[in-house]
Amino acid sequence: MTAIASDASRAPLAGLRILDLTRLLPGPLATQHLADYGAEVIKIEDTGAGDYARTLGAMGGENSYLYQIVNRNKKSLRLDLKQEAGKALLRRLVAKADGLVEGFRPGVMDKLGVGYEALAEINPRLVFCSISGYGQTGPYALRAGHDINYIGYAGVLDQIGTAGGPPAVPNLQIGDLLGGTMAAVTGILVALLEARTTGRGRLVDVSMTDAAFAHAIFPLIEVLAHGGVRPRGEDLLTGGVPCYGVYQTADGRYMAVGALEEKFWQMTCDALGRPDLKPLHLATGEAGARARAEVQAVFRTRTQAEWVAVFDGVDCCVTPVLQLEESLRNPQLRARGMVRDVGGVTQFGPPVRLAGFEPAMPRPAPASAGDDGDEVLAALGLDATEIAGLRDAGVI
């Protein structure tokens, strides 16, 4: 196993082996989070197109940037699971693995003969995580979908946007990342903890729609309190009150005002030179609209940089809306180690800091599918002749 921490014995997930059969974004990022904290992740791609994220979007050399920033710290093996020899190799890997993550449509792994029930017979401790759009059960289980569909069903997309406008499609994939990535990480770790105490693993069924739906907290509060959600852009957190929202500056940029607490709103009004607006903290309706218009008029008198200079000295939750290239230079994010260079490609650092653990320089994503195949198979006990034969047969 390749150590990825300066002191491998202190890596929280050291000794954990995860088989990653996923593609594109949600699954690969979930297993990358595990790899960042010390797990050995073996990325298994088919012998054809493999993970088609390799060629999706802007290219950063041989592989796309998308592929490179969600597959670091992994080993790579190619397997043809349509051949019995390929399935046999997967079973041998499973016997020594702690977890397996897949993102095919429900039933695909079972049809291949390597579903949870079959693999649990080989390794009862195996945690088998299936990531799908709608889950393994229910009337939509076999439907195709993407993030926009999942958050649409979950009632989340309807709430994003400005008053009077259509739903706004976010460039942060809420269903894919909150659902397919973070819910998967949570489910995997919960099941792994149980497996270590009971000796039994589980099937972890992750639905991206379920996860997005389960976090629609404020819309649910509105439904419980009033029988339905407020119109888009008119509730507490989407522009319905003057103390919480975005305001345009003189140069066409924006400031984010998050002065929900009364004390912060009073400080904001003083900094804006409009103490008369203090009573309108949580004003709604026509009064709220007038107050928002007054605040907007003030913000348009200066540039974003000028307002940053004003509010950097006032601790009242008023901050600039940065573009990502600016965020990459942000001193707070850099101080936290959130911007890293991995093989010449700028990437995000691990999002959770753990005391006493400092990840070493990450290993770049495997340049080609199967780069680590010989190493992985040799660890299973195959010799060079056997590996060469599998390669000639197109199994690896």
Question: Which residues carry out catalysis?
Answer: 146, 176
* Helix ranges, 300-364 (H): 304-311, 324-327, 331-335
Q: Which of 96, 81, 78 is nearest to 40 (CA)?
A: 96
User: Between the CA of residue 193 and those of 16, 98, 112, 196, 201, what are the distances in Å?
Assistant: 11, 11, 28, 5, 9
271-276-278 Cα angle (round to 5)? 70
> Could you please report the per-residue DSSP string of 239-262?
TSSTTEEEEE-TTS-EEEEE--SH
Dist. CA 389–CA 367, nearest whole Å:
23
Say if residues 220 and 137 touch (Cβ distance below 8 Å): no
Dist. CA 39–CA 271, nearest whole Å:
49
109's CB contacts (< 8 A; 6+ apart) are 102, 115, 116, 130
Say if residues 159 and 234 touch (Cβ distance below 8 Å): no
Dist. CA 58–CA 61, nearest whole Å:
9
Dist. CA 320–CA 254, nearest whole Å:
6
